[in-house]
A and B are shown apart, each in its own frame.
Chain A
Amino acid sequence: MELLPVISAAAAEAVALYLITKCRCVLAPDIHKAGQPRIPKIGGLGLIIAIPFLWLLWNPVSRVAVAFFSVPLVMGVVGLLDDIYSINEYVRVAVSLGYPVALYAVDLMPRMIYVPLIGRFSDALLVGAITVASYLIFSNAVNMFDVVNGVVPFSMSLIPLSSLVYGVVADNEIAVYLSIASLAASLVLFVFNAYPAKLFNGNGGTHVLGAILSGLFLYTGASTFVLIAALPYIVNGILIIFSSRGIKGRDKLSRPTKVVNGLVYPNEDSRGVLTLVKSIVMDGPRDEWGIIKAIYALFLASFALSLLTIYLWRLI
């Protein structure tokens, strides 16, 4: 197990994030806190600095490494530029989707995918469709759920544990390395983004973590277990897309919740938009920390379900 890339990446990311919190640049208000303090929203920069260490000090030329690390890097840079300069939505989508498509077209991505419980697929068209759909779905699903402090890096510290367990059980060294690399990068970000956050992930951070989640799904061989560990993201995405009748920008959706005296309630006037956070406060109003604890509990439960699924997979 190569620990040098992981340790150097974690150290570089920690230093970068510490400097960002000190420089107090590119600020955004934390709307759930009293007085709405302004904190930096470029946490994605820390991940963008960590990825080259994880990639180049491990295996710079293998297809899996190129696909797993270069896509988050490109998506992260685009997201970071969006955080700083608010780039055009079409340019952002074109680069984020175009890059994995181009990489696949020039044969720099693996053309085989193993889906535990279903089977192994090597048809170029089918694998290409799954690859592109995976990047599209996971990066949007992660972005849609970045609504309270710490939730995204917390979940991304749990989900790789699922592929890590699979990697150990199946004796898959690549899965083990990619899981530990993802876990380390997410844990460092979690230290800074945990409630009360010292910085936001920003679009840069959520796009990197969404692409890493896709990479864990596609290249570790643990796709089924990663999907189950990430179920809160998927369920939240399904609820938003079905209830708003299609894919719409956050600014075009009416707020599913309302804040009264620091407590979050379901918004009865939200014209039917449904989210996982709304389903949490449907059982009773909660403050921000209460919502965060509920989301942590959901990810812990989905992680336990992914372990149960690994057990089922071993049985059949």
Chain B
Amino acid sequence: MRTSLSLLAFSWATLVVVLLLLRFMNEELGGYIPLLVAGLALIFLWAAGVYRLAKSLEERMMRKVPR
């Protein structure tokens, strides 16, 4: 349960940061196209970060499992 809860907490905290960054960009950038491009890039980075954390947690847990 700890692994999945860590993933959920990390996803939420980083997603809120992404949303606040998009809020700032929405106020500062003129037009939708730059916001769309920045939004897609940020969301991809967020998803990649969630995956990287899950992968490193998996590798750590698998090292503990006796073979």
A interface residues (Cβ-Cβ under 8 A, vs B): 115, 117-119, 121, 123, 125-126, 129, 224, 227-228, 231-232, 234-235, 238-239, 242-243, 266, 268, 274, 276, 278-280, 282-283, 294, 297-298, 301-302, 305, 309, 312
Contact = CB atoms under 8 A, between A and B. Distances in A.
A117 B23 contact: yes
B51 A224 contact: no
A274 B55 contact: yes
A294 B8 CA distance: 12
Count chain A CB atoms within 10 A of each CB in B1, B2, B65 and give the residue with the most.
Answer: B1
A297 B11 CA distance: 16
Contacts of B19: 115, 117-118, 224
Interface residues of B, number: 32
Q: Say whether chain B's binding surface is mostly helix, strand, loop, or mixed.
A: helix
B3 A231 contact: no
Q: Say whether chain A's binding surface is mostly helix, strand, loop, or mixed.
A: helix
A268 B8 contact: no
Given A224-B19, A239-B51, A266 B62 contact: yes
Contacts of A278: 58
Contacts, number: 95
Given A118-B19, A123-B32, A309-B16, A279 B26 contact: no
Contacts of B35: 126
B20 A117 contact: yes
B11 A282 contact: no
Given A239-B54, A274-B58, A121 B32 contact: yes
A231 B23 contact: no
